Amino acid sequence: MSSARHDPERTLALVAGVRTPFAKAGSTLEGAETADLASHVFREVLDRTGFDPAAVDQVVLGAAGPSAREANVARVAALRAGVPVDVPALTVMRNCASGMESIAEARNRLLAGEGEVFLVGGAESMSNFPLVMGRKLTGMFQRLAKARSLGARVAAALSFRPSFLKPRIAIVEGLTDPTTGLMMGHTAENLAREFAISRSDQDAFAMRSHRRAGKAQESGRWQREIAAMVPPPFRGAVADDNGIRSDQTMEALGKLRPVFDKREGDVTVGNACQVTDGAVGLLAMSEARAHREGLEPVALIRDHVQVGLDPARMGLGPAHAIPKILERNDLVLRDIDIFEINEAFAAQVLGCQAAMASADWCGQHLGRSSAVGELHIEKLNVNGGAIALGHPIAATGARITWTLAEELRQRGGGLGIASLCIGGGQGQALLLEVQP
């Protein structure tokens, strides 16, 4: 471990967590905006633990695409959840890892002596990613607003061209890397080619994800994480994830057409993560404070790391982050009981596995003399992942961390690593310990 001695005052503990059901964009949660989702999980985690909201030191929420009227959505959600006005709140954004970043942020603040209790999490309403009107139309309206005389107004209005109405689609632009011009799917195609991952390997991985998530659903495992929600417009309750297909088959997956590279590609909607709405709320505090409050820590955050890498191969983020966090803590791959690696794309998770198992790659990119090791599939994403549950961008980092913690608790304790690849070429990993 990096910290030689264990100091409960300086160790962040996750005490409780809930999430909304994860619902495919445009389905049951479409009426809820980011703040609706986040305030729901914040209130539920507080109500369920009975923790006094006034005792929270800072609220940190990951959100990658809050709407324009809730830019600091953490603050909006906290107030709406009943957190008093004198508790500050900040929104963090590191694309796909924003939810995990909220936990890292809380840990950093604890270590810096800036508070003991944190309400953290992530929320994303991908249904509400807007269509944005282009700069040209905005410019015309600005000219219209400035125009004083009738002539100026007419001139401004006459500058209109039908092409001004072509919207920019936020979700497409958000998932395109602006420095390389590649869509996220294209970066996954890159990995499939470099690591020789076949279409059927990818489809098999996707099917496994659905099967595992489906089994977890049947066993009632997700129900322990989920706080059912009655979202706006308040026409019905939403209690279950709706992306899981327990009956997914290779045949059905095989029929799907590639989306990104339509001629030669492998990445389909079936072996990529789903576009989803959802939020996760966690109550985190120093281990010592949890004991003082009479609350049982579920998991302790031992360490977290962020790394940067080639944006065109952003999917390898975990292959960079996991070795780094292991090394910092004098651990090797086998020491870790289970892993959660976000399933942005099947090809990308398989790529990470292959990279870490390759001595060549490890030598070239990590400067190691040997491979990191074989990350066995039985230890990886044991309850499925984003291919089945969906990937509400900023929520996922918090979701896999909490799922990992719950899983380790059920197994009677152990060490776990949660990691994500991040659009723009980053990786993040978090080392978690559940004490027996």
Partner 1 sequence: MTDTQTDRQQRSEAQGLAHCSRSGDLAIVRLGAEDESMVTFTKERLESLDRIIGELIANPPKGVIITGPGPGMFAAGADIKLIQDVQSIPEGVEAAERGREIFRRLRTLPCPVVAAIEGPCLGGGFELALFCDVRVASDHSSTRLGLPEVKLGIIPGFGGTQNLTRLVGLPVALDWILKGKTAPAEAAFRKGLVDRVAPASRLLDAAVQEARRLIDARKKAPTRKLRGSNRWLTHLAPLRALVARKVRKTLETGQARFYEAPKSALELCLKAVTVPEQEGFDAEAQALGERIVSPSCKGLVHLFFLTERAKKLAKGDGARSVERALVVGGGVMGAGIGALMAGKGVRTRLCDLSLDVLAKAKGRLQKDLDKQVRRRRKKRHQAQAIQDNLAVSTEWGDLRHYDLWLEAVVEDLSLKQSLMARAVDAGLPADAVIATNTSSLPVDAMAHAVPHPERVVGVHFFNPPEKMPLVEVIRGARTSDAAVASACKLAVRLGKFPVVVGDAPGFLVNRCLAPYLNEAAELMLEGCEPEYLDKVLLDFGMPMGPARLLDEVGWDVATKVSEVLHEGFPDRMRKSVLCDAMVEAKALGSKAKGGLYRNGKAGPGRDVLQRLRRERGGAGTEPTRTEVIERLVYPMVDEAYRCLEDGVVTAEEDLDLGLVMGIGFPPFTGGITRWARSEGLDTIVAALERRAGEAGAGPCRALRDRATR
Residue numbers annotated as active site: 96, 391, 421
Residue from 8, 10, 48, 164 in contact with partner 1 (CB under 8 A): 48
Residue from 24, 28, 32, 43 in contact with partner 1 (CB under 8 A): 43
CA dihedral 65, 98, 218, 415 (to 10 degrees): 180
The CB-of-227 to partner 1 minimum distance in angstroms stands at 7
- The span from the CA of 374 to the CA of 112, in Å, is 36
Residues of this chain, 218-247, that bind partner 1 according to CB under 8 A: 227-228, 230, 232-237, 239
43/107 with CB nearer partner 1: 43
- The span from the CA of 221 to the CA of 188, in Å, is 30
Query: If binding means CB under 8 A, how many residues of this protein chain bind partner 1?
Result: 21
User: Is residue 171 part of the contact set for partner 1 (CB under 8 A)?
Assistant: no
Closest CA to 118 of 146, 89, 95: 89
The CB-of-202 to partner 1 minimum distance in angstroms stands at 37
The CB-of-380 to partner 1 minimum distance in angstroms stands at 32
23/267 with CB nearer partner 1: 23
Residue 387 makes CB contacts below 8 A (sequence gap 6+) with 205, 206, 209, 210, 271, 272, 273, 274, 343, 346
Q: Which residue has the tokens 């369920």?
A: 48
Q: What is the contact mask toward partner 1 in residues 364 to 383, using x (rule: CB under 8 A)? A: --------------------
Q: Which residues does residue 124 pair with via DSSP β-bridges, in sequence order?
A: 278
Residue from 82, 134, 254, 308 in contact with partner 1 (CB under 8 A): 82
User: Is residue 47 part of the contact set for partner 1 (CB under 8 A)?
Assistant: yes
The CB-of-48 to partner 1 minimum distance in angstroms stands at 4
With CB under 8 A as the contact rule, which of the stretches 75-83, 89-97, 283-291, 371-379 interacts with partner 1?
75-83
- The span from the CA of 18 to the CA of 283, in Å, is 9
Q: Report how far apart, in Å, the C-alpha atoms of 68 and of each of 34, 131, 173, 212, 402 are.
A: 11, 12, 16, 37, 29
- DSSP for 299-366, written as a single string: EEEEEEEEEE--GGGGGGHHHHHHHHHHHHTT--GGG-SEEEE--SBHHHHHHHHHHHH-HHHIIIII
238/347 with CB nearer partner 1: 238
The CB-of-64 to partner 1 minimum distance in angstroms stands at 23
The CB-of-242 to partner 1 minimum distance in angstroms stands at 15
151/233 with CB nearer partner 1: 233
Tokens for 123, please give them: 């929320």
Do 24 and 40 form a contact (C-beta atoms < 8 A)?
Answer: no
User: Is residue 50 part of the contact set for partner 1 (CB under 8 A)?
Assistant: yes
The CB-of-47 to partner 1 minimum distance in angstroms stands at 4
User: Is residue 80 part of the contact set for partner 1 (CB under 8 A)?
Assistant: yes
Buried/exposed 135-160: b ≥16 CB within 10 Å, e otherwise: eebeebeeeeeeeeeeeeeeebeeee
Residues of this chain, 253-312, that bind partner 1 according to CB under 8 A: none
**Consecutive H or E run containing 100:** helix 98-111
Residue from 39, 98, 248, 306 in contact with partner 1 (CB under 8 A): 39
User: Is residue 95 part of the contact set for partner 1 (CB under 8 A)?
Assistant: no
Closest CA to 114 of 56, 197, 200: 56
The CB-of-130 to partner 1 minimum distance in angstroms stands at 19
Do 109 and 270 form a contact (C-beta atoms < 8 A)?
Answer: no
69/148 with CB nearer partner 1: 69
294's torsion region: left (phi>0), alpha (psi -120 to 50) or beta? left
144/239 with CB nearer partner 1: 239
227/285 with CB nearer partner 1: 227
Other CB atoms within a 10 A radius of the CB of residue 118 amount to 25
**Residues written for the chain:** 436
167/232 with CB nearer partner 1: 232
Binding site for partner 1 (CB under 8 A): 39, 43-44, 47-50, 52, 80-82, 227-228, 230, 232-237, 239
